[in-house]
Structure 1
């Protein structure tokens, strides 16, 4: 396994905590690698949005501020809305089988009550819908922020104690896609993302009271709601 893979997994699993300061010297000693190799790995993770190099301070693992969460989930909700609509519009037997498989994996993971399995299955379902959309540029844009989305999903899932709740949060838009209802699939997917994002922001603001609405985008969040389903009358 490459140095970047090891560090990435440590961040995604929570072994290295958000906001933690990491040094090339200590990492090279722990991993038995040269500082140059570790430095290259940290730069790779910086490109993925997982680490940042602060002048005169050093390397730091990203932490999810309210602004980070707002940017991620508003972007994610738009991208996944489009993907859900595209898959529903072009649904066929093969895509139904693949989507059902992803959803069942999430159900099984939630029944296991293992946070890491739940987070991975949750992400795999969402990534699976992006892939099924068969839209290369959409997929490439999603992959650009993929690592940050995985970290975000892990954080939001950790706020839910009941695995069955996670399953039921995903079921409506999955069923809409399977039914070929593009408008409902898009609206329900967007509503899911916006709702979970708002919950995570509320949680972060309780942990970081200084991160007030005046210094965050929360004021804008109140006006950002899922688009209404178009009337068929």
Structure 2
């Protein structure tokens, strides 16, 4: 039997790729607060990279919808307003409702452990993980269901939205005090997919997004009303 080499090849990534990942993670996790102003010089100092590297990363994040560049005002982290939350919740309900139905219809038996593992990861994160780990596991479960749908164009649209969806999930999960509720929100969806009940899987996936998204929308609308925005 061939011995397994304990050393893996060293990952070679450019400074831009590392800066992009660091900034994206900081935004999605809330390390860089929504709406906060950010400057190229401050970020370049904190990341120990050139301003050109930071600028390139910021333009990529702008294309992903995570940062906004305003003429004469500079860069700011996206702040999810009521319109943003409403658009994301309705779009997710549509895309993930379709994904749930197709995943139930089309997933191969060999793919079932992948979905079960994603659900196990979410349970573990909800029981013992940090808020960011919970949101990451939540997102990975939804991403897995989309992948099991076997629909290339659906997967591509979801991929383009992945960072905004991750931000949306992070904000929504933060409103749930008892993380076991998040487990209860997702287990019926997974069971329906594994049972190949397409109608139920699609309905549950859609309703999950509409219900939880509305709670987030209500909170954001209340915050905006209080701030006078």
* CA distance, structure 1, for counterparts of residue 133 and residue 90 of structure 2: 25
The 8 Å contact of residues 107 and 150 in structure 2, kept in 1 or not, is answered as no
2:48 counterpart (12, 27, 32): 32
Task: Structure 2: give runs of 5+ residues left out of the alignment.
Answer: 1-16
The aligned residue for residue 59 of structure 1 is 75
1:2 counterpart (8, 18, 29): 18
Aligned positions of 1:66-215 closer than 5 A: 66-209=82-225
How much has 1:134 moved relative to structure 2? 1.4
Where 1:2 maps in the other structure, the secondary structure is helix
- CA RMSD of superposed structures (Å): 1.5
How much has 1:95 moved relative to structure 2? 2.2
How much has 1:10 moved relative to structure 2? 1.1
Aligned length: 213
Where 1:208 maps in the other structure, the secondary structure is helix
* CA distance, structure 1, for counterparts of residue 44 and residue 123 of structure 2: 39
Deviates most, 24-33 or 146-155 = 24-33
For residues 36-75 of structure 1, give each alpha carbon's deviation from its aligned partner in whole angstroms, at most 9, with x where no partner exists.
1111110010011100101110001001101001111111
* Runs of 4+ residues deviating >6 angstroms: none
The aligned residue for residue 228 of structure 1 is none
* CA distance, structure 1, for counterparts of residue 104 and residue 35 of structure 2: 39
TM-score normalised by L of structure 2: 0.89
How much has 1:211 moved relative to structure 2? 8.3
TM-score normalised by L of structure 1: 0.88
The aligned residue for residue 223 of structure 1 is none
* CA distance, structure 1, for counterparts of residue 49 and residue 123 of structure 2: 40
The 8 Å contact of residues 28 and 34 in structure 1, kept in 2 or not, is answered as yes
Task: Structure 1: give runs of 5+ residues left out of the alignment.
Answer: 216-233
* CA distance, structure 2, for counterparts of residue 163 and residue 175 of structure 1: 19
